[in-house]
């Protein structure tokens, strides 16, 4: 009698007890979900998620949270983003990139009449607080469904305009009809929509031919590692590149707490955060491990919004 095939053994779990954040340099082609699946297999831990989708045609920084660090996701997702992009003028596509159906193509004469001064002249209109409409092939949900799923099913749904913030928008190369752009923007900004709107403002249409994310808040692509390297040496990559939850949120104000106060905070009790401004803050213990993410009121009361560690504090102390 033939024995049933053996199930593949689960990879060793390389994720620290308190979780970690790994910065992945996403390659061209896979979806963000594909990247998460590959990270999950490589590190041997199913509790993995990313903090901001990159399209298959986009590359660059994908922030991946592992284990207990998945609790950081709302705080990292809310960070501003930075990109470098290549805009090709003269052709507008439905998706705003090279994969989309052509909607409008400029005449050769209209494209020839376009000058570098024209391009530089419209950029200020797209800085600051602007309104834009997400493209049909986006991850925005309408009626509980992703727009890209509705688009694939042939359903036409128009999402209302939304306000976003573009803090920095500069042309770094002008080689018409191509323009290289640097963009820093708020959460929820679609660079593909920006390409569409810039092309329309110039009267010739436009779409992206390349997009690379370089920063998420203070986290930079220079800190990232490739998927191939992670898959080849998960233990080595986790040791060299993984950030602790506290390190991933190091730009937030800190409340240092002793062990007694750490236990009290983990029990959900309100702490005093004298000297800290109202907003998000971190509670760190004597070992600089993250105890909790706090919401500090104007009165200086700090309430726990996410707790970390729990009974793991002693285990973490042994590992230190």
DSSP secondary structure letter of residue 144: T
150 and 297 both lie in a single domain: no
Residues 99 and 73 in one domain: no
pLDDT digits (tens, 9 = 90+) for 204-221: 999 999 999 999 999 999
pLDDT of residue 320: 24
Q: If you average pLDDT over residues 258-284, what whole number do you get?
A: 89
Mean pLDDT score, 231-254: 96
**Residue 305 lies in domain:** 252-319
For the residues of 162-210, what is the DSSP string, one character each? EEEEEEEEEEEEEETTEEEEEEEE-TT--HHHHHHHHHHHTTS-EEEEE
Domain CATH code at residue 141? 3.30.2350.10
- What pLDDT was estimated at residue 4? 45
Q: What is the mean pLDDT of residues 263-272?
A: 85
pLDDT at 313: 38
Mean pLDDT for all residues in the chain: 89
Domain presence at residue 213: no
Asked whether the beta carbons of 244 and 42 are under 8 A apart, the reply is no
Q: Is 15 domain-assigned? A: no
Distance CA 250, CA 214 (A): 18
Catalytically annotated residue among 25, 55, 197, 289: 55
At 269, is the pLDDT very low, low, confident or very high (cuts 50, 70, 90)?
Answer: confident
- Name the H helices within the chain: 32-43, 73-77, 108-112, 116-122, 147-152, 191-201, 227-232, 234-241, 245-248, 259-266, 312-319
Domain termination residue (choose one: 184, 208, 232):
208
**Are 110 and 227 in a shared domain?**
no
If pLDDT is split at 50, 70 and 90, which confidence band does 183 have? Answer: very high
**SS3 readout for 269-288:** CCEECCCCCCEEEEEECCCC
Copy the structure tokens of residue 283: 């509670």
| 111 and 181 within one domain | yes
Q: For residue 2, is pLDDT > 50?
A: no
What pLDDT sits at residue 137? 64
Catalytic site includes residue 197: no
* 70 and 109 together in one domain: no
Structural domains in the chain (count): 3
Are both 52 and 152 inside the same structural domain? no
The reply to whether omega before 177 is within 30° of 0 (cis) is yes
- Residue 3: pLDDT over 60: no
Q: Does pLDDT of 170 surpass 60?
A: yes
Final residue of a domain: which of 208, 232, 261?
208
Over residues 53-70, the pLDDT tens digits come to 999 999 999 999 999 999
Backbone angles phi, psi at 195, to 5 degrees: -60, -45
Question: Domain holding 288: CATH number?
Answer: 2.30.130.10
What pLDDT is attached to residue 211? 98
How many helical (H) and strand (E) elements, i.e. helices and strands, does the chain have?
A: 11, 19
Domain end call among 182, 208, 234:
208
Distance, CA of 93 to CA of 36 (rounded, Å): 29
């Amino acid at each position: 009698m033939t024995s049933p095939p053996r199930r593949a053994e689960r990879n060793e779990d390389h994720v620290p007890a308190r979780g970690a954040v790994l910065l992945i340099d996403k390659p061209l082609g896979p979806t963000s979900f594909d990247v998460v699946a590959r990270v999950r297999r490589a590190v041997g831990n199913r509790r993995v998620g990313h903090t901001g989708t990159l399209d298959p045609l986009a590359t660059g920084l994908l922030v991946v949270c592992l284990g207990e660090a998945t609790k950081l996701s709302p705080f990292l997702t809310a960070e501003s983003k930075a990109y470098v992009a290549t805009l090709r003028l003269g052709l507008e596509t439905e998706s705003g990139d090279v994969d989309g159906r052509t909607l409008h193509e400029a005449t050769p004469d209209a494209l020839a009449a376009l000058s570098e001064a024209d391009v530089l002249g419209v950029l200020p209109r797209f800085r600051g607080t602007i309104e834009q409409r997400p493209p049909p092939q986006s991850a925005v949900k309408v009626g509980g469904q992703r727009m890209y799923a509705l688009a694939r099913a042939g359903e036409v749904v128009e999402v209302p305009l939304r306000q976003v913030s573009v803090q920095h928008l500069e042309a770094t190369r002008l080689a018409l009809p191509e323009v290289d752009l640097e963009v820093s923007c708020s959460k929820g900004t679609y660079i593909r929509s920006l390409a569409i709107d810039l092309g329309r403002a110039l009267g010739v249409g436009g779409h992206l031919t390349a997009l690379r994310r370089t920063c998420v808040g203070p986290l930079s692509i220079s800190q990232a590692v490739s998927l191939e390297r992670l898959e080849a040496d998960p233990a080595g990559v986790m040791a060299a590149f993984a950030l602790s939850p506290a390190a991933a949120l190091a730009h937030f104000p800190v409340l240092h707490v002793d062990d007694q106060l750490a236990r009290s905070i983990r029990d959900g009790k309100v702490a005093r955060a004298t000297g800290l401004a109202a907003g998000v803050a971190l509670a760190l213990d004597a070992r600089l491990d993250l105890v909790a993410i706090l919401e500090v009121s104007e009165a200086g009361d700090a309430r726990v919004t996410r707790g970390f560690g729990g009974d793991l504090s002693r285990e973490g102390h042994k590992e230190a």
